[in-house]
Amino acid sequence: MEIQLKTHIFILIIFFTTSIYASSNITSQEIALRIQNSIESKLKGPNKNIIKTIYEKNSYNPIWVGTVNKTKLGQLITALNNPLFNYKDKPMGRTNIKKLFFLLDNNEISNDKKKEVYARLDMMLSNSFVALVRFIVQGDVDWVLLRKKMVALKESNDIEAKWEITPKDLPPIESLYTAMLNNNIKNYLKSLITMESRYYSLVKLLKDYRAMEKFPKVVYTNDIFKLGDKDARLVDIKKRLLISGDLEQDAPLDKYFDAKLKKAVIKYQTRYHLKVDGNIDKVMTYYLNQPVKKNIQQIIANLDKCKLYPKSFEDEYIEVNIPDFNLRYYSKGEKLFKSGVVVGRIDRPTPIFSDMMTHMVLNPTWTIPDNLIKRDLIPTLREDPKYMEDNNIHVFSGQKEIQLTEGQLDQYENSTKAVPYRFVQYPGDNNALGRIKFMFPNKYAVYLHDTDNKTLLERRYKIYSSGCMRVDKPFNLMRVLLEHTKEEYNQEKIDLILESMKTTTIKLTQAIPVHILYFTVYKEDGLAYFKNDIYLYDQMIWESSAGQKKSTFKIPKKRFIDVKKNAKTKQELHEIEKNEKPKRVNIKKQTQNVSNDAIEMF
C-alpha cells in the first residue's frame, strides 16, 4: 500500500512537471538537439547501443517528457514500481529520476539548463525502460556463473549436475521502439513474461509473504500435540499458523487443540511435504520456526527460473517436478494424471532438461551404464559374487554372451577407460526398470520407468535413483499414452504381452513433450507449496544473483539437520518458565527410538 501511494504521488508530480515543460516555451526539437549532442557522452552501460538505436529511429525526439508523452511515462513509472515486472524492487535509475523531477517541479533548475536536464531525464527514462525489459526477459542471475558452479561439483563432490540452462536474448529493438511509439508500455511488458500462469501465481505469493508480519517463535519440545490437548504453547502455534494463512481467521487463539487447529496443521503439513497426521511434532516445529525471509528468498529464486522457459508449454505435455517428487500430465490446460516419482539421489541428481517421448517398452531389458558398472556393480560383485546370477544379469562381449570371473572387472573400477563388456538385465519382476519404461531418447540416458522396489515410493524424500525417474503408477500413465498409438491395446492384450516376458515396443503416433523441472515453490488447487531444495539449485541461483553473488559454491558438510537435538522436554520448559537453568538432558537416551522423520533437510 505504501509503495502504491508513493507511486501515485510520483505520477502526479510527473504530470505537473510535464505541464511546466509545456509552459516553458521549450520545444521538442530543442530537446532532440540536446539528446543528439549528449547521447554518446551521457549514456553508459549495457543498454547504450540499444538506446542510441531507438533515438536514431525517433530522430532524437524525446520519448517520455512532454505533454504528448505523459500517458506512456505514467505507465513506465508504474511498471518500474510494480512487483509483476520488478519483483526484486531493483533501482533502475528511479532515485535519480525522482530527483530530477523534484528539481524541475520546484523550479530549481535555471531556464538555460532546462533543455539539457529534460534531455538527460528522457535518456534516463529510456535506460530504465530497457533495464526493466532486460530484467523481465533475462533477470539478474549470472547463468554462466551458475553453470560453472554446477560443473565444479564434479571435481569437488563427484556430482554430475546437469541443467540445460538457456538464457533468452533481448527482444528485437524494433519491438521496444514500437511499444514506446504506440504508448503500449504495460501490455508490451506483460507480453514478455514467461511461464505466465506459474509466474503470476508466484508474484501474488511473493506479495502475500512480504506483507506477513514476523513469525512468532515456537518453543521446541519433545512433546507431540494432538487433537484434544491443552497447552499454553499452542497459543503461539495458532498465531504462527494464522499469519501464514493456514488457520482460519475466526479460530480462537487459545491453548486448546481443537478441530480448526488440526485442519490448519494438516494443511501446513501438506504444503511443506511433512508427515500428514494432524499432530504437531518436533519436525513441524522446526519448519514453523523458519523465518518468513526464507520463504521470500525461495519464491524469488523460483521466479528467476521462470525466465528460462517459454511463455507456456505445449497443448499436451508431461511435467516432472524433481523437488516435488511428482509427475503431471497436461492436455489443453487440464491435468489428466498425477503420479509420485522417485528421482536422482543428491549425489546423482536427475538432469533438468526437455525432450520428446516417442515410445514405451513393455518387459524392458536394462543395459547397465558404464558409470554404474564402476560405481555400483563392481563393488557389489566383490561382496556378492552371485549377484548377477540372482538378478538375471547377462554379460556380453560384442554379441556373444560370456562368463566373467570375479576379479576381471577390478581393473576398471577407478579407470577412465570404458568397461569393454555389456551388462544386460533381462525382463522380469526383479528388473530395475520394472515392467515398463517410457522413452524420450536423450544424451543423459535417463527416462521414466516402473520399479522393482515400490517401497521407495512410500518415503517422504524420494531421492534414491541414479538419475532416472521411477513412476508410482506407470500403467496409469501408459493408459493415457495409449491414446496416441496406431494399434489398439486393451488390458487383455497388455496382460498377454507382460506374461510373455517378451520385450515389446509401443510407438506413439504423436511425440509427447517431457519437461524435467526444478520448482520448489508452486500453487496447486488453491494451496501454496514449499518444497526442499534437494539439489541446492535454489541456493546456487541466489548466490549467482546481483547483490548476492559468490564466485564459487560449496556444498555444506551437513545436508540434513537432526531436529530432535533442538527439542526440549516438558520439565526443561517448566524450568525455563521459572527462569531457572534447565537440567542437562540425555538426548541420546530420550530420542534413541525417534523415527527417521526427525531428520530434516536444510
- C-alpha 491/C-alpha 324 separation (Å) is 31
* Centroid of chain to Cα 350: 15
Q: What is the pLDDT of residue 602?
A: 46
Cell numbers describing residue 125 = 527514462
Q: What is the pLDDT of residue 564?
A: 54
381 domain residue, yes or no: yes
569 domain residue, yes or no: yes
- C-alpha 275/C-alpha 129 separation (Å) is 47
159 domain residue, yes or no: no
Q: What is the pLDDT of residue 221?
A: 85
552 domain residue, yes or no: no
Q: What is the pLDDT of residue 105?
A: 87
In terms of domains, do 383 and 437 share one?
A: yes
CA–CA–CA angle 171, 313, 200 (5° rounding): 70
Boundary of a domain, candidates 514, 543, 569:
514
- C-alpha 444/C-alpha 452 separation (Å) is 22
Contact indicator for 107, 127 with CB cutoff of 8 Å: no
In terms of domains, do 41 and 121 share one?
A: yes
Residue with cell 514500481: 81
Q: Give the SS3 label for residue 585.
A: coil
In terms of domains, do 370 and 444 share one?
A: yes
pTM recorded for the entire structure? 0.89
Q: What is the pLDDT of residue 357?
A: 98
Q: What is the pLDDT of residue 9?
A: 47
In terms of domains, do 482 and 564 share one?
A: no
309 domain residue, yes or no: no
465 domain residue, yes or no: yes
Specify the amino acid at residue 443. K
**pLDDT (tens digit, 9 = 90+) per residue, 223-235?**
999 999 999 999 9
In terms of domains, do 269 and 360 share one?
A: no
Name the H helices within 335-444: 370-372, 378-383, 387-390
Boundary of a domain, candidates 158, 192, 226:
192
In terms of domains, do 7 and 133 share one?
A: yes
In terms of domains, do 350 and 473 share one?
A: yes
* Centroid of chain to Cα 138: 16
Number of folded domains in the chain?
A: 3
Cβ count near 189 (within 10 Å): 22
Q: What is the pLDDT of residue 567?
A: 53
Cell numbers describing residue 405 = 570371473
In terms of domains, do 593 and 474 share one?
A: no
- C-alpha 168/C-alpha 150 separation (Å) is 20
Question: Within a 13 Å sphere around the CA of 111, how many CA atoms are in the beta-carbon half?
Answer: 4
CA-atom Rg of the chain in angstroms: 30
Host domain of residue 107: 2-138+176-192
Residue with cell 549425489: 347
- C-alpha 516/C-alpha 446 separation (Å) is 11
Residue ranges for the chain with pLDDT beneath 50: 1-3, 5, 9, 13, 15-16, 19-20, 569-599, 602
Q: Give the SS3 label for residue 240.
A: helix
Contact indicator for 468, 452 with CB cutoff of 8 Å: no
CA distances from 279 to 92, 440, 602 (A): 47, 42, 22
Cell numbers describing residue 69 = 508523452
- C-alpha 540/C-alpha 288 separation (Å) is 24
In terms of domains, do 344 and 456 share one?
A: yes
303 domain residue, yes or no: no
208 domain residue, yes or no: no
Boundary of a domain, candidates 514, 533, 567:
514
